[in-house]
Structure 1
Amino acid sequence: MRAFLLPHRIVMILIALGIVLWCAFSMRWDWIPKYTDLALLGLWRTIWILVVTTILGFLLAIPLGLAQAIGPWYLATPARVFCTVIRGTPLLLQIWLLYYGLGSLFPQFPWIRSSELWPYLRQAWPYAVLALTLSYAGYEGEVMRGAFSSVAKGQVEAAKAFGMPRFTLFRRIWLPQAIQSALPTLAGETILQLKATPLVASITIIEIYAVASRVRQDTFIVYEPLLLLAVIYMAIAGLITLMFRWLERRVPTKGV
């Protein structure tokens, strides 16, 4: 409690409180009731895209990192090429290539247009999810490569000497320690993934950033929607940070 009441922290709290009160009473917020439902829908889509793409991307990053760390050349080389291409090209370009490139090829095949997948392939969200998933996997594949390489080889050799099956060794020794060492970086990359979600608005997906843009276009109010959007992103980023800190305490550092 004493550390919290240090003079510089009290000054910062008072300044923040003053800014909040100034924003609350000097800016226009009468537009909020009209756009509340659309904003809640956009917020849900932002969170949904973030959760789905990070989970799928991380599941893909594990074999990418493992292939680069210990895989044979015919697995390691494609994994390295994939990670290099993803990390070397802008995410917006990747989204557009999938949506405007791949998405424009599908209508040329009658068997695709007559399939049950066509109603989904006509929409924008599958391409957004695919692009963000591949992007996250490309970056996290490199993170997991370093994490797998950092696990002490002596533990792996000892487990093999005791006759532990490879999958059990991977599940109980290698993977937990790799995840533990990668968690701080994964937290940062997940926050970056959150800040990348506004790019899907460029392919007509209405998420929280697109809602703020619509408010600006309809009402010509610029700063208030953007300030509220910044607060929302900061709140979500704070929750992500707390979640990963909780995970860092829960994931074991040693094989059991």
Structure 2
Amino acid sequence: MDWMYHLSDWLQLLTAGHEPWDSYARYLPQLLEGAWVTLKLVVLSGIAGILLAIPLALLRVSKNPWLWVLPYCYIFFFRGTPLLVQIFLVYYGLSQFESIRNSGWLWDQVLSQPYWCAIITFSLHTAAYIAELFRGAIQSVPRGEVEAAMALGLSKAKQYRKIILPRAFGMILPAYGNEVILMLKGSALASTITLLDLMGATRNVISRTYMNLEFFLLAGVMYLVIAAVIIGLFRLLENFFNAHQRATHLPVKQLDAQLQDEHLRDNAR
């Protein structure tokens, strides 16, 4: 990304050698590249985690113990052990097995690479938390909505696809946003397996400049900016999936004529 180095050169001209601004400008490309790696880790693992969490949650709500016991053990393990231990188990632990080291491309291209080990670990970790969120949301879907779907003759699969899961997703959005923010902060642990994410790039720069306080503060500001963007995106998603919660705040004139009864007129603002 040549634009980052052009921006760095331009900022160095503005700082005129004044510290710590000159060092900020000089090492800005490395920090931005680390921030981009962090953002990819959070987004990819968040998507993979929610895709894995949906079947886990569906199995957890089953009344058959043969179906829910394994997801329960999985969730219990990943929620009950530190993320750092999980990263080390994937990155260092799997290499202890000769069969994995001889697995060809799976070892050469995936399991021996810190980037993919971090994504695998974060995906498995966040899937456990999201699965529990989904389980609670599925069980909290109003019974009347499920009965209405049954009255329309929808099959069990269509009930989940068209009614229960979309409703549950809207319910978990605030808590899911918090989980993504926690995952963003937890992504700093990826630097412990030599990955140059934002924290890894920051530590690399500090080893050259010995400016600990200055660059840790800058890294904190960059994490805050990323977190602010994520929070804003989740606010938009909440407004889209939970639009019904704002219905009483619509002007009465914008409502369908059949809905303009006295109760809504009294509560509309």
TM-score class, shorter-chain normalisation, is 0.7 to 0.9
Determine which of 205, 215, 227 is the counterpart of 1:215: 205
Contact 2:101–2:107, Cα closer than 8 Å, also in 1: no
Pair 1:163-2:153 in alignment: yes
Give the letter for the 1:251 counterpart: F
RMSD: 2.0
Structure 2 unmatched runs, 5+: 1-17, 245-269
Give the letter for the 1:78 counterpart: L
- The CA distance in 2 between the partners of 1:229 and 1:220, in whole Å, is 15
In structure 1, what is the equivalent of residue 15 of structure 2? none
- The CA distance in 2 between the partners of 1:242 and 1:226, in whole Å, is 24
Pair 1:201-2:202 in alignment: no
In structure 1, what is the equivalent of residue 180 of structure 2? 190
Q: Against the structure 1 CA distance between its residues 195 and 106, is the aligned structure 2 distance closer, same or farther, given a 3 Å change threshold? A: farther
- The CA distance in 1 between the partners of 2:65 and 2:93, in whole Å, is 31
CA deviation after TM superposition for structure 1 residue 165, in Å = 2.2
- The CA distance in 1 between the partners of 2:129 and 2:22, in whole Å, is 42
**Identical columns (%):** 36
- Residue 70 of structure 1: SS of its match in structure 2? coil
Normalising by the residue count of structure 1, what TM-score does the alignment of the two structures yield? 0.83
Determine which of 216, 228, 231 is the counterpart of 2:218: 228
In structure 1, what is the equivalent of residue 254 of structure 2? none
Pair 1:248-2:252 in alignment: no
CA deviation after TM superposition for structure 1 residue 139, in Å = 0.9
CA deviation after TM superposition for structure 1 residue 104, in Å = 3.3
Aligned length: 227
CA-to-partner distance for each residue in 1:96-154, whole Å, 9 max, x for gaps? 011110133257653x1xx3333213211221111100110011111111011100123
Structure 1 unmatched runs, 5+: 1-25
Task: Return the structure number with greater relative CO, CA threshold 8 A, min gap 6.
Answer: 1
Greater C-alpha radius of gyration? 2
CA-to-partner distance for each residue in 1:160-207, whole Å, 9 max, x for gaps? 232112222112110111011101100111000000001011011001
Matches within 5 A, 1:85-164: 85-106=77-98, 109-110=101-102, 112=103, 115-120=104-109, 121-164=111-154
- The CA distance in 2 between the partners of 1:58 and 1:186, in whole Å, is 9
